[in-house]
Chains A and B, each alone.
Chain A
């Protein structure tokens, strides 16, 4: 399940800069620190301290209960690239150089780029050298997205519906989200001089919001991509695995990786054979920087006292030395 002990990223994200955590702060001062203490330390603090009050259960928050997800059954995928085609059309992306029925693209390992939100790659089946396994790759829409944590301008937003969306109107192009993303997903259109932006799958947020389903799921002729509530998808995935233990390995990728993702995968071969990163912690990546960031207020308060004290001690020594010198001088005068 979404066992993330994280807090609702969602609200602060959507509240952008105005958010109000005053109520919350009084009741549970410790709990808001993760995302907000930095703000309190800087002049902008005041504005980040306000946020909707329905955030009360911050620490135990396990993600939005009704958020959607996708389940990709890699054993069903035949590499037809219908999903790529549907995605390209639904998102009005530029036409690719090779048509979508061209299998030669499988000779290279591709990744989502400025012109494609999703790609399908082909891998040799480790159990049977004559067979192939296909893997669809796109944004996994993490429960606690590292891209959103990385972004210094809050351009990313984990929506209550599940998709992680990006707002190019805020982005200044530092590309820290690309560095932070554990799945190598966000792409940048380096060719644009005036309006370069991050490009990544939106889980068809516009469609999902209005009750539709993402284009790739709709297009898949094999039923390999299921759209639904993430909780239901986890049940479905477990059911599939327990019904056909020979067909699947016993692992739902995305259930726990980096705190869980909205996009889930089940597979017949171990995920490391399919280019999935398998060296990731189970807790959200946000947790890795939390300790460092919580030291920030300490430095701001303790350092001035500590170094001010050093300076005071130095002054004191100087003055004492001066006084001593003056007394000695006076004594000398007396002796004379």
Chain B
């Protein structure tokens, strides 16, 4: 055998070893047969054909295809709901690298990965929903709608996705043992973190600002000149809550991939994050109240939409905030975790309220139009399933919940 062929063979076996985590194919496949994977396979067996149909026969096969309701669950959930929950990377990297909250080190990589995948899948939802997704690069090269808030979002999401990939790259590089490239990647950490703050500040708020163009359509209680600030401010506490949610889930389901540094510190760190999230919620709640006061919309609170608004800000915002505070005061990690799940649901409720539930509230028969077709729900569930599978795939292989021996922390 020639020298080159040996090297190729060595690389191949090394690479397969990385991918299969040291197992042989039959062993690896046997580990895949779990109840979770069976459920995932069932969901995908319905959703993937639907996605294929969408690309063969048009959007009408999976969406309402409504002219009055151009956006549905794909964007309401995937883009507008997914992006604030993916602020994890920017919030934790800022806290750790810029403000010096050093004790959160075990959670930083997990937070960056959550953000990276969150944005990546937000783009996947968008590509599924775009009429001609193969033109996705048009705002970057073909023609520039510089007055459009969506132009800003497109540029920023694309740039920020790159930034987050660089931020996460040390984990990938440790996995494939590329010490030299890793050193280069570490050098630009601070620059990337500050870049991440700029981009996140702007596009988190821009997602809200997009609705400023529709004052006649968004319900006045949700329409406010403060929308950009609402979106930005809520994304901060959403990120902290999401870090708690994700770390809780991985500590339970991927325990063997985490080291003692992660598992042993998690409760303490969760309490710290919960404290931050609680404060974040109060800031956001105060802003929301200010928003009503600013537009003098108090009278609208006593209407059906007003009751729903109150449910949102009292039940889905203020209540998790209070649970956070009590949990932290009494050092009850369980309560803080519960509050985090609750707060995350609250964020999704808020984004769905603006994009779907109250959007076009004044059209006749509005509430009949907002129930998504089952096909769209199945597609959303499939993409979410792939999201989880990819997340797990990475956590199983790369040093995210653990430190890689031989590499110093950064």
A residues contacting B by CB (< 8 A) are 16-17, 34-39, 42, 44, 47-48, 109, 111-114, 146, 148-155, 170-176, 178-180, 182, 184, 186-193, 195-197, 277, 279-281, 285-286, 288-289, 291-293, 296, 299-300, 303-304, 307-308, 310-311, 314, 317-318
Closest to A113 in B: B67
Q: Find out whether the CB atom of B132 lies under 8 angstroms from the CB atom of A171.
A: yes
Cβ of A307: which chain B residues have Cβ within 8 Å of it?
A: 94, 98, 193-194, 197
- Of B150, B202, B205, the residue contacting A150 (CB under 8 A) is B150
Q: A172-B130, A172-B132 are in contact. Are A190 and B63 (CB under 8 A)?
A: yes
Describe B's contact surface by its main secondary structure.
helix
| Chain B residue with Cβ nearest A114 | B67
Instruction: With both chains docked as a complex, state the minimum distance between the C-beta of A183 and any C-beta of chain B, in angstroms.
Output: 9
Q: Given A36-B146, A153-B139, A193-B58, output 20 extra A-B contacts at Cβ < 8 Å.
A: A17-B143, A35-B147, A114-B67, A146-B213, A150-B150, A154-B143, A155-B143, A155-B145, A174-B130, A174-B150, A179-B211, A190-B60, A193-B55, A195-B132, A196-B58, A279-B215, A288-B213, A299-B201, A308-B194, A310-B98
A176 and B150 within 8 A (CB): yes
Which of B94, B155, B198 has the largest number of chain A CB atoms within 10 A?
B198
Within 8 A of A (CB), among B189-204: 190, 193-194, 197-198, 201-202
B140 within 8 A of A: yes
A176–B138 alpha-carbon span in the complex (Å) = 15
Kindly state whether residue B206 has any CB partner on chain A within 8 Å: yes
Question: For A191, A279, A289, which residue has the most chain B Cβ atoms within 10 angstroms?
Answer: A289
Partner among A39, A296, A317 whose Cβ is within 8 Å of the Cβ of B202: A296
- B70–A288 CB distance below 8 A: no
Interface size, chain B (Cβ < 8 Å):
65
State A193–B59 Cα separation when bound (angstroms): 7
Shortest A169–chain B CB gap in Å is 9
Q: Are B144 and A178 in contact (CB under 8 A)?
A: no
Please indicate the chain A residues that have their CB under 8 angstroms from the CB of B65 in the complex: 188, 190-191
CB B285 to nearest CB in A, in angstroms, measures 22
Closest to B196 in A: A307
B213 adjacent to A296 (CB under 8 Å): no
**Known interface pairs A173-B132, A307-B98. Does A292 touch B149 (Cβ–Cβ under 8 Å)?**
yes
CB<8 Å pairs between A and B, sample of 13: A38-B147, A39-B146, A47-B144, A152-B148, A172-B135, A188-B59, A195-B132, A279-B215, A285-B213, A288-B212, A299-B201, A310-B98, A311-B194
